Every structure is written in C-alpha cells, then in structure tokens.
C-alpha cells in the first residue's frame, strides 16, 4: 500500500484524513507545517504527498515548488473550493491534481490511486522506445529524453505525454483528457489539463510559445504533432 505524507495544519482534518486513509491500508505520516513536512520527506520517503495549500509559515505552493526542484513525487493539493487562484498557482507550481475539502475518504483514495496508477504497458507489438522528432519516449522504463537528455516529468505530465503520443495527431478534448489521464469526471476542472500542458511544453518544447509536440486546436482540445 502506498505511503502518504499529509501536510495539513488543522488537527481535525489531519487526524480525520489520517484515520480514514489508515483504515484503507495506507501508511500515513502527518506534518502540521510546511517545514516539518519538508523535513519528513527525506526520512519517510513517501509515494505521494497530500498537501494543504493554506499553511502557516512556508505555504503549500512554496512546499510544492521546493519538492519539484529535485523530485517527481506525485503531489495532490488539498484546497477549499473557491480558492480558485490558489488552485491555479498550485498547479503551476507542479501539483498533479487537487481535492476540494471537505472530501470523503473514498474520494481522496480514488485520487491517490489515479495519480499512482501504473501507466499501461505498451503491448501489441509496440516498440518499447518511440522516437518523435527529438523526443525519445520509453513506455516501459517511463523515461523521456530530448536530444539524449533525460527530462524530469511529474507523474501527470508523463501520463499526459504518453496518452497524447500514443495516438499522434488525434485530437483529445480537455474533458476526455480529464477522464483518461486524471480519472476525473467529464465535468472536472479543465484548468488541470491546461496547467499540465503548459508545464509539459516548458520541458519538451524548444519554443513553448510556438509548440511543436503538444498542439492546441482552439475549441477542440489538444493533440500530439503532427511533427
């Protein structure tokens, strides 16, 4: 079962979520502040970070940025609906998904599973490594290199790239991507997709403003290529 680090300042939420997740078999470590959470990272080595955005001291967005500096640890933000600006900032900082509080444990667990889900093996005779322009995508090893240089992609970025590149030139609506990449409902928050596309472009495109790999089709969605 995955190891979850929960950084949450409110004791009731911290205890409740910890209890709920532990009952479902997760190994949970909690921290009340950003500083304590960052300190626990190295020692606890979690599979996933559950991060409240509104923290005293070092806030959630700052924690998110610090983690992303040297780690592709899956990050899910805990947020209150209506804190729209925080959500966008958190997504830009590299969070993979977010959960609106209050949430039932089953919802939280479903999100955790979706983010941690192992991406499908290639199968039906696909080569393990595909080359698209300067990109080399290894679907088995889950690595992406650009001109031989390995790119550090967060889990959501990796999943999005694998999903799009599996069907080059096919257009996916943002709703479809929410359903298939994030396992959200069709009506979920499309800003997740947009923020992830932006982050991905910054990593794989030579000119993020004039993208070659992840192209936008206004009014329809995104597609991979054509190169």
Partner 1 sequence: MKGLRPGRPATPFKLRTRLVLAFLLVAVVSAGTTATLTFREARNSVLRTAQDTAVSSFREQVQQIGVGLPVEDADALSEVLRDIARKGKPHTWIVFAEYGTLRASSGTSPTSTVITPELRRKTVGYPHGSFERVVKDGVPYLTIGMPTVFKVGVGGVLSTGLVLYAVMRMDQEQTQVDALITAARDGAVPGLAIALLPALLAARSVLRPVRELRRAARSMGSGRFDTRIPVRGSDELADLARTFNESAGEIERSVDELQRAEARARRFAADVSHELRTPLAGMLAVTEVLDEDAGRLDPDTAQAVRLISAETGKLAVLVDDLLEISRFDARAAELNTDEVDAAETIAKTLQNRRWTDQVRTELPAGIRARLDPRRFDIVVANLVGNALRHGGVGVTVRLRTRDREDGTGLLVMEVADRGPGIRPEALPHIFDRFYKAEAARTRSTGSGLGLAITQENVRLHGGTIHAANAPREHAGDPAAATGAVFTVEIPLNAGEEPA
Binding site for partner 1 (CB under 8 A): 10-17, 19-20, 23, 80-82, 84, 101-106, 108, 173-175, 185-191, 219-220
Of the two residues 153 and 214, which places its CB atom closer to partner 1 in the complex? Answer: 214
- Structural contact between residues 182 and 156, judged by C-beta atoms closer than 8 angstroms: yes
Q: Pick from 224, 35, 172, 108: which is nearest to 181 by CA?
A: 172
165 closest CA partner among 135, 194, 192: 135
Exposure on the CB side of residue 6, measured as CA atoms within 13 A: 26
Burial of 42 by CB count in 10 Å (0-12 exposed, 13-18 middle, 19+ buried)?
Answer: exposed
Q: 3-state class of 180 per DSSP?
A: helix
- Give the nearer residue to partner 1 in terms of CB position, either 213 or 222: 222
Q: Of 14 and 199, which CB lies nearer to partner 1 in the complex structure? A: 14
Q: Are 92 and 79 in contact (CB under 8 A)?
A: no
- Nearest CB to partner 1, comparing residues 152 and 190: 190
Report in angstroms how near the CB of residue 124 gets to partner 1 at its nearest: 28
Sort 193 into a burial class: Cβ within 10 Å, 0-12 / 13-18 / 19+: buried
Q: What is the smallest separation between the CB atom of 167 and partner 1, expressed in angstroms?
A: 19
* Nearer of residues 84 and 169 to partner 1, judged by Cβ: 84
């Amino acid at each position: 079962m995955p190891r979850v680090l929960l950084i949450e300042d409110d004791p009731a939420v911290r205890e409740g979520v910890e209890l709920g997740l532990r009952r479902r078999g997760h190994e949970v470590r909690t921290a009340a502040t950003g500083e304590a959470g960052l300190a626990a990272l190295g020692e606890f080595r979690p599979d996933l970070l559950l991060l409240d955005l509104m923290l005293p001291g070092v806030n959630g967005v700052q924690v998110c940025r610090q983690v992303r500096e040297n780690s592709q640890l899956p990050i899910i933000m805990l947020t209150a609906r209506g804190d729209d600006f925080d959500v966008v900032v958190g997504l830009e900082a590299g969070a993979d998904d977010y959960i609106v509080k209050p949430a039932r444990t089953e919802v939280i667990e479903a999100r955790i599973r979706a983010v941690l889900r192992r991406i499908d093996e290639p199968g039906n005779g696909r080569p393990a490594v595909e080359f698209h322009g300067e990109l080399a995508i290894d679907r088995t090893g889950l690595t992406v290199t650009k001109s031989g240089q390995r790119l550090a992609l967060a889990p959501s970025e990796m999943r999005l790239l694998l999903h799009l590149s599996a069907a080059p030139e096919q257009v996916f609506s943002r709703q479809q991507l929410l359903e298939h990449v994030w396992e959200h409902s069709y009506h979920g928050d499309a800003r997740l997709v947009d923020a992830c596309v932006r982050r991905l472009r910054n990593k794989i495109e030579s000119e993020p403003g004039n993208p070659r790999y992840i192209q936008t089709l206004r009014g329809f969605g995104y597609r991979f290529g054509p190169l």
